[in-house]
Amino acid sequence: MQQTSNGTLYIVATPIGNLEDMTFRAVRTLKEVDLIAAEDTRHSRKLLAHYGIATRMTPYHDHNEQLKTDYLIDRLLDGQNVALITDAGTPCIADPGYRIVQAAVAAGVRVVPIPGAAALAAAVSAAGLPSDRFAFEGFLPPRQGKRRAKLAELTNENRLLVFYEAPHRLAATLADMRETLGNRQAVVARELTKIHEEFRNGTLDEIAEYYREQQVKGEIVILIAPPVDDGRKQITDVVPLLRQLLAERRMSFKDAVMQAAQQTGVSRTELYEMALRLKLEAKNGG
d(CA 66, CA 232): 49
- Whole-number mean pLDDT of the chain? 90
The predicted structure's pLDDT at residue 234: 52
The predicted structure's pLDDT at residue 165: 97
d(CA 148, CA 201): 22
- For residue 210, is pLDDT > 60? yes
The DSSP string of 115-152 is ----HHHHHHHHS-S--SSEEEEEEPPSSHHHHHHHHH
Q: Name the residue with higher pLDDT: 28 or 262.
A: 28
CA 110, 115, 121, 125 torsion: positive or negative? positive
The predicted structure's pLDDT at residue 229: 59
Model pLDDT for residues 98-128, shown as the tens digit of each residue = 999 999 999 999 999 999 999 999 999 999 9
Model pLDDT for residues 175-193, shown as the tens digit of each residue = 999 989 988 999 999 999 9
User: Which amino acid type is present at position 108?
Assistant: G
The predicted structure's pLDDT at residue 285: 64
Residues linked to residue 202 through DSSP beta bridges, in sequence order: 186
Band the pLDDT of 283: cuts 50, 70, 90.
confident
Q: Name the residue with higher pLDDT: 156 or 249.
A: 156
Q: What global pTM score does this model have?
A: 0.77
Strands 160-165 and 82-85: what pairing?
Answer: unpaired
The predicted structure's pLDDT at residue 57: 97
Percent of the chain scoring above 90 in pLDDT = 68
The DSSP string of 202-244 is EEHHHHHHHHTS----S-EEEEEPPPP-SSTT-HHHHHHHHHH
Strands 134-139 and 110-114: what pairing?
Answer: unpaired
- For residue 213, is pLDDT > 80? yes
Could you tell me the CA-to-CA distances from 279 to 127, 266, 275 in Å, in that order? 41, 18, 6
pLDDT, mean of residues 74-83: 97
d(CA 96, CA 92): 6
Cβ-based neighbour number of residue 164 at 10 Å: 18
The predicted structure's pLDDT at residue 232: 47
Largest CA distance in the chain: 83
CA 111, 115, 117, 119 torsion: positive or negative? positive
Q: Name the residue with higher pLDDT: 275 or 229.
A: 275
